[in-house]
Amino acid sequence: MTTLRKVALFTNEYPPNVYGGAGVHVEYLSRALAKLVAVEVRCFGDQNSATPELSVQGYAQWPETKRNTDPRFSGAVDAFARSLLMAKDHFDADVVHCHTWYTDMGGLLASKLWGVPYVLTIHSLEPLRPWKVEQLGNGYHLSSWMERTAIEQADAIIAVSQETRADVLRFFNIAPERVHVIYNGIDLEEYRKATATDVLTRYGIDPARPFVLFVGRITRQKGIIHLVNAIPHLMPGLQVVLCAGAPDTPEIGREMEERVAAVSATRPDVIWIREMLPRPDVIQLYSHAAVFCCPSVYEPFGIINLEAMACETAVVASAVGGIKEVVIPEETGLLVDLDLAGDSFTPRDPEGFAANLAAAINRVASDEALRMRMGQAGRKRVEDHFSWDAIAEKTLALYQGL
C-alpha cells in the first residue's frame, strides 16, 4: 500500500470563518490528520498560515463574480470561480478531499490537472435542500449541477451517516462500493461539561431555572420555526434560549422576528441570542441546559447533537437523517417523528409536530433524574464512538486504498 506524503483539503469554511457543521468537521479533521500526514487546506477567505504539519491558504472572493448579474447568482458563480483558482494553483499533495458543493468542482478540476484521486465528503445534498431556491434563485441549479458532476466522477465518497449514503445512492449514478460511511466526530477535551455560569448571567438566563436550548443558523433546514411554534406548549417556568443568527434569507429572518415576537407577548422567558457565540460560550450554554433541542427537517448527521451530548446534556431531536444514528431514544434523549409532505421538507401537520416537540421537551425537562441519566449516557456514547483521532485514521486508510 502506498504511503501518503501529503493530503489537500478543499473547503468553503475554515477558522475563523466557520458557521456550520461542515466547517467544524474540516477544522477538527485537519488537526487530527496532521498528526498522521502533512495537510494543506485551501479555503474561502484570507487565511494564510503554515507549519510543517498543517498549512492553510485562503482564496478571496473575485469581485467580478458579483458584477452585472442577479445578486442571487453570486454565491454559486463565486464558488465556481474560487474552485478553479484552488485547482489551478501548484499542487503537490497525493489526494484532494473536498467538503460541500462549494469546492466539489475544485476537487474534480484538481484531479484532472494534477493527476491525483479525489474524495468528497457529503455533509448535505442539494436535491434535499429545495428551499435554497429562495437564497440562490436559479443559481441553485448551478450549485446542483456542480455537485452532481463532481459526485458522479469522484474516486470515493464519504457519507457522514448510513442515511446519507442511502441518499447518495438514490440521487446519483455512482457505484455503491465507492460510497463509504465515516461519521463526524467531537473533540472530547474541548467539549465537556462546564461549571461557570457567567455567559448565562450575561444574557439574562437564570442559572437556577431549567432551560431548553437551540443552537444553529436560522434556516428552513434547521427547523427553528417549529421550535418557536412549540413554545406556547412548553411547561410554565421553562426558559427558552435560542442561540440563533445568520438567517439564510431576509424572508426567513422576518418570519423568525414575527414568530418570536408573537410568543414572547405571552411568554416572558424567551431569550434570543442573535449572534453566533464563541465556542467556549456555547459549551457553557450546552452544559447548563436541561434539554438541547434539534428540530431539523433535514440533517445528514447533526454534529450539534454530539456537542450537547459531550457536555452531558439530554437531547430532543427530530427523527430524521443521521440524527437517528447519533441519538439513542430513551437512552441519550428522545426522538420526535417528523412526517414530511413529500420532498417539500414541510411537516404534513406542523402544529402536531410542534406539540410533539414540546411534549418531549417537557418530559425531559420535568424529570431531573431522567435528564441526568441521559446526559451521562450521551457523554459515554460520544467517548466510545466519535473521537476525531479514530475518524482521522479511518479517513487516512480510505485515502491509502485509492
- Which has more pLDDT, 2 or 227? 227
Strands 54-59 and 48-50: antiparallel
Residue 399's pLDDT is what? 97
Fold: same for 6-185+387-401 and 198-385: yes
Please give the Cα distance from 97 to 400 (Å, whole number): 13
> Model pTM?
0.81
- CATH assignment of 198-385, given 3.10.20.740, 3.30.70.141, 3.40.50.2000, 2.30.38.10? 3.40.50.2000
- C-alpha cell, 287: 452544559
The CATH homologous superfamily to which domain 6-185+387-401 belongs is Glycogen Phosphorylase B; (3.40.50.2000)
Put the strands of the sheet holding 6-11 in their side by side order. 48-50, 54-59, 38-44, 6-11, 95-99, 118-122, 156-159, 179-181
- The residues spanned by each domain of the chain are 6-185+387-401, 198-385
Q: What is the mean pLDDT of the chain?
A: 93
Q: pLDDT tens, 61-79? A: 988 888 998 888 888 999 9
- C-alpha cell, 332: 441519550
Residue 102's pLDDT is what? 94
Q: pLDDT tens, 85-125? A: 999 999 999 999 999 999 999 999 999 999 999 999 999 88
